[in-house]
Amino acid sequence: MIEIIPAIDIIEGRCVRLSEGDYERKTSYDAQPLDMAKAYEQAGVRRLHLVDLDGAKAAGPQNLATLEQIATRTNLEIEFGGGIKSTDALQAVFDYGATYAIAGSVAARQPELFDLWLEAYGPSKMILGADLKDGKVAINGWKEAVDMTIDDIIARFAAVTQIICTDISKDGMLQGPAFELYKDLQERYGSIDFTVSGGISSMSDIERLNEEGLRKVIVGKAIYENRITLKDIERWLQNA
């Protein structure tokens, strides 16, 4: 069964969602990150996707206090991304309680540094963030595209076992994910756990991804917009 991983995206300590990665198309929600995390844990969720959107545009993580709060007050495994652009930032993310660290910009721009991180922390702790815009990898809060496809970046990092791949054109749009993209990737790279990210609009999307052999899926806006409820997630996890 595919694992559902709820997303909490943060700007200035608040839960938000963007549309197609556009900071100007931001929806803020009243829910507090810790309250959301506790609700997910109560529903049976084991892993949380926590994104520091301030950090993604800055030189380093900006919402470590929120990470620490969730890490110390829940038992969730936390995959944290946003602003991890130096070894000091990476270590801080782990020190503040992250179980996994997501790196995209460094992998694309400083591959030798990402190699060192994979060696030092192990591929079980490091997740490659491969976010795609018009087929090319996008970095720095999705503001900059590099001349590299997802196949290029997979070929560069043979040690990687976990990849979160976001189709930016789908993200926050609630129109369904890029099914064929993820099915193709998972079939061609069976040793890698791909996490589907972007566009999930209903439980039927998750059911189809499960049928097509995907292993993990991130769900964000669909939860906030009540298209997927905590009860839906609880039922799914109970059947897993």
pLDDT digits (tens, 9 = 90+) for 166-225: 888 776 667 899 999 999 999 999 999 999 999 999 999 999 999 999 999 999 989 988
Instruction: Domain 3-239: give its CATH architecture.
Output: Alpha-Beta Barrel (3.20)
Tens digits of per-residue pLDDT, 71-99? 999 999 999 999 999 999 999 999 999 99
Q: How many residues are recorded in the chain?
A: 240
pLDDT for 140 equals 66
- Classify 24 as helix, strand or coil: strand
Start-end of H helices in the chain: 33-42, 53-57, 64-73, 87-95, 105-109, 111-121, 150-156, 179-188, 203-211, 221-224, 230-239
pLDDT digits (tens, 9 = 90+) for 20-46: 556 666 676 768 999 999 999 999 999
For residue 214 the two structure tokens come to 């995907």
Please check whether residue 222 is in contact with residue 200, taking contact to mean a CB–CB distance below 8 angstroms: yes
Strand partners, 115: none
Predicted local distance difference test score (pLDDT) of residue 205: 97
Q: What is the share, in percent, of the chain residues with pLDDT greater than 70?
A: 92
Q: Which residues are catalytic?
A: 9, 131
Cα(128)–Cα(151) distance, integer angstroms: 13
- Predicted model pTM: 0.92
